[in-house]
Amino acid sequence: MKTITWLLTMMVTATASSTRTASFDSSPPGRLPTGWVSVSTPAGAAPKWEVVREPTAPSPPNVLVQVSNRADSQPLAVLESLRLADGEISVRFKPIGTSEEQLAGVVWRYRDSNNYYMARADALDHSVLVYRIAGGRATLLRPLGRTGQIHARYNPPPGQWGTLKVVFRGSRFGIYVNHRRVLEFYDTTISGSGKVGLCSGPGSAAYFDDFRVSTR
């Protein structure tokens, strides 16, 4: 009931200034929380996301994690109940993937599986990158004020939780890691409102907790 109430509140207050957090603690383990959908890009068999119990969760006992093991797609979990043009999204995350990939990220202005923005932190490559997916084609965006460097350094302490946040206003985006702005972008390709969500990596996984959405 708590999860359903939160989702209804998100829909009612989407046009006002508000902040809501999903901690996944009221969702039963073993399934996707109510109001979320699993998406694969490019389109194909949907990846499997589910709530699991995790004793290290910032707000225990539950987290959300992508548990499928497909190496040919970008797995997304999208919140269906809210669309916004400007706002902030943040999430606590802990990469737990394989030795080849440990990716975690957020998605905004999601129109469909072929059109959205994505910010992704890679714990093994020690980088934070931002992509624009438009017409099914992924483009790595170049940050403002940087010459020859398209990423920010990310050096997570092993086995610890981090925070990833995106602030988007019109055509400008700010990317924050652990409450420090590390990248800024300007891009006009995908404007207007869209959905928000989470992303993992192909064959990778991460725990997610305290997904926060602030509308403006």
Ramachandran assignment for 124, one of left (phi > 0), alpha (psi -120 to 50 degrees), beta (any other): alpha
Residue, of 214 and 148, whose pLDDT is higher: 214
User: Which burial class, exposed, middle or buried, applies to 22 when counting CB atoms under 10 A from its CB (0-12, 13-18, 19+)?
Assistant: buried
Residues 6+ apart with CB under 8 A from 125: none
Confidence of residue 127 (pLDDT cuts 50, 70, 90): very high
Report the pLDDT value the prediction gives residue 156, as an integer from 0 to 100.
79
- Yes or no: say if 188 and 171 are a contact pair by the CB < 8 Å rule: yes
- Predicted local confidence at residue 191, as pLDDT: 95
C-beta of residue 59 within 8 angstroms of C-beta of residue 193: no
Average pLDDT estimate for 122-149: 90
Residue 169 pLDDT greater than 70, yes or no: yes
pLDDT for res 216: 66
Of residues 23 and 62, more confidently modeled? 62
Task: Report, as an integer, the average pLDDT of 45-57.
Answer: 91
* Average confidence (pLDDT) over 138-147: 90
> Per-residue pLDDT for 197 more than 50?
yes
CB 48, CB 24: distance < 8 Å: no
Q: Dig out the tokens for 105 from the structure.
A: 């990220």
Under the banding of pLDDT at 50, 70 and 90, the label for residue 20 is confident
Amino acid at 86: D
177: pLDDT confidence band, cut at 50, 70 and 90?
Answer: very high
| More confidently predicted of 126 and 101 | 126
pLDDT for position 13:
35
User: 95 vs 192, which has greater pLDDT?
Assistant: 192
Reply yes or no on domain 2-215 having CATH 1.10.3720.10.
no
Q: Is the pLDDT of residue 188 over 70?
A: yes
If you average pLDDT over residues 177-204, what whole number do you get? 92
Average pLDDT over residues 96-125: 88
Per-residue pLDDT at 208 exceeds 50: yes
Q: What's the mean per-residue pLDDT of the chain? A: 86
Q: In terms of residues, how long is the chain?
A: 216
